[in-house]
């Protein structure tokens, strides 16, 4: 990929459109090298991986397994066998809930989740508790999005089997103290499940240092393709878990009476895999390594600070969470007095500014904070000062355009 100072040139859509794209927390744009990697797979080694002894299939297998090793390094997992490819974060977390949760959680047990969870890390645990008779308990956050560990410790005890927490909130942008919460979970004999969908695009994630037993993320949020996701799981846990899906490729042998499942990680990857998506994800992770998290974080903080300082000067605008830009990791969720978030989104779209409006798949958090819905601008390192200024100019006129006058 082109590694010039203006990284925006690496992203074809951004160079071919006049909109300010500020919805990267939903899906990031893709650099040219990711598109090229997918095209290269389909034009040079398009065959089913793992299933053929001919050159095309062998090349496809190498591309697929090389991507797995790239993910292992990205997360600092101990073994590539701990990396399972899925479709997205949601599927990864469902895999953990259905396979580990239903096998290990029983009536009378407790599952602890944070109030900040995306529905993808809440609904699966609601299902587990509903089916097993376990109790779901919530870690609540402070108004600024921070977590008081003194309030967390009493929630995690001998009955706790699972603690699930997002590393970075998709509404508040706040990073949670995963390592400390994991220590509390492990002390109680529970496993720690981490939603890394919003952290992996913005910071180095080391699953061993965090103490994560499971961690999930999506390719499309780390500048990779849609349709490819990752589940990291500790090997000793994955080995004991039953398959989530059954069918082709995840078996060693099948008889009329039963089956012997394949070794890790293949027993969790039923059917024809998304090998081209894995190749694209590999290219995305390489691209991120070349740009560097230091460069990304500096740029995102500069733009977040510009946006927050500008919004604070606009009457009737309220930013959720911390008042410190460094706590937001590029996510600015806000309300405007008297203007529905959907109207905010539509008016900004008419001005060529793309943001997200709604409950952001985090309704319990918004209800806890007293907002049925909000607007969210999310920033990536490829955004520009001019795009932030377009956002601020549009937001500054919202109430006037809704008929409130100057």
Which position has the token pair 């929630």?
Answer: 155
**Three-state secondary structure string covering 33-55:** HHHHHHHHHHHHCCCCCCCCCCH
Looking at 33, 45, 129, 361, which residue is catalytic? 361
If we measure between CA atoms, which residue out of 368, 323, 375, 369 comes closest to residue 349? Answer: 375
Q: Is 327 helix (H, G, I), strand (E, B) or coil?
A: helix
Given a contact cutoff of 8 angstroms between Cβ atoms, the answer to whether 99 and 253 are in contact is no
Measure the CA–CA gap between 344 and 327, rounded to whole angstroms: 24
Residue (of 324, 314, 398, 316) closest to 355 by Cα position: 398
**Active-site residue, 141 included:** no
Beta strand extents in 178-326 (DSSP E only)? 191-195, 214-218, 229-233, 251-254, 259-261, 317-319
DSSP label at residue 212:
-
How far apart (Å, rounded) are the C-alpha atoms in residues 366 and 369?
5
Q: Output the six-digit token pair for 362.
A: 């985090």
Q: Which residues carry out catalysis?
A: 361
């Amino acid at each position: 990929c082109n590694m010039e100072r203006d990284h925006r040139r690496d992203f074809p859509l951004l160079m071919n459109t006049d909109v300010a794209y500020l919805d990267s927390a939903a899906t990031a744009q893709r650099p040219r090298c990711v598109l090229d990697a997918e095209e290269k797979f389909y034009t040079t080694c398009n065959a089913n991986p793992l299933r053929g002894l001919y050159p095309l299939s062998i090349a496809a297998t190498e591309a697929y397994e090389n991507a797995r090793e790239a993910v292992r390094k990205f997360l600092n997992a101990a073994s590539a066998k701990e990396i399972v490819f899925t479709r997205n974060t949601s599927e990864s977390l469902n895999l953990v809930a259905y396979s580990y949760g239903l096998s290990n959680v029983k009536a009378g047990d407790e599952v602890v989740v944070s109030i900040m969870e995306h529905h993808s890390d809440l609904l699966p645990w609601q299902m587990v508790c509903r089916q097993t008779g376990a109790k779901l308990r919530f870690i609540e956050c402070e108004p600024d999005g921070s977590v008081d560990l003194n309030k967390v410790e009493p929630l995690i005890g001998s009955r706790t089997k699972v603690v699930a927490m997002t590393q970075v909130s998709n509404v508040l942008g706040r990073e949670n103290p995963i390592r400390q919460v994991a220590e509390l979970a492990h002390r109680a004999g529970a496993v720690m499940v981490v939603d890394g969908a919003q952290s992996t695009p913005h910071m180095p994630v080391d699953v061993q240092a965090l103490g994560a037993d499971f961690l999930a993320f999506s390719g499309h949020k780390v500048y990779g393709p849609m349709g490819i996701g990752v589940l990291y799981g500790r090997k000793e846990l994955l080995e004991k878990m039953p398959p989530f899906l059954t069918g082709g490729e995840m078996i060693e042998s099948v008889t009329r009476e039963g089956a012997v499942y394949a070794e890790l990680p293949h027993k969790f990857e039923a059917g024809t895999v998304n090998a081209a998506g894995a190749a694209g994800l590999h290219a995305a992770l390489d691209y991120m390594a070349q740009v560097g998290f230091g460069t990304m974080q500096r740029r995102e903080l500069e733009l977040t600070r510009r946006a927050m300082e500008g919004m604070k000067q606009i009457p009737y605008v309220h930013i959720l969470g911390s008042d410190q830009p460094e706590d937001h990791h590029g996510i600015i969720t806000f309300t405007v007095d008297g203007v529905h978030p959907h109207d905010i989104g539509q008016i900004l779209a008419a001005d060529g500014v793309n943001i997200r409006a709604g409950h952001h798949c985090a309704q319990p958090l918004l209800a806890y904070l007293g907002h049925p819905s909000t607007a969210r601008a999310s920033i990536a390192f490829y955004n520009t000062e001019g795009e932030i200024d377009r956002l601020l100019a549009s937001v500054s006129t919202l109430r006037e355009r809704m008929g409130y006058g100057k």
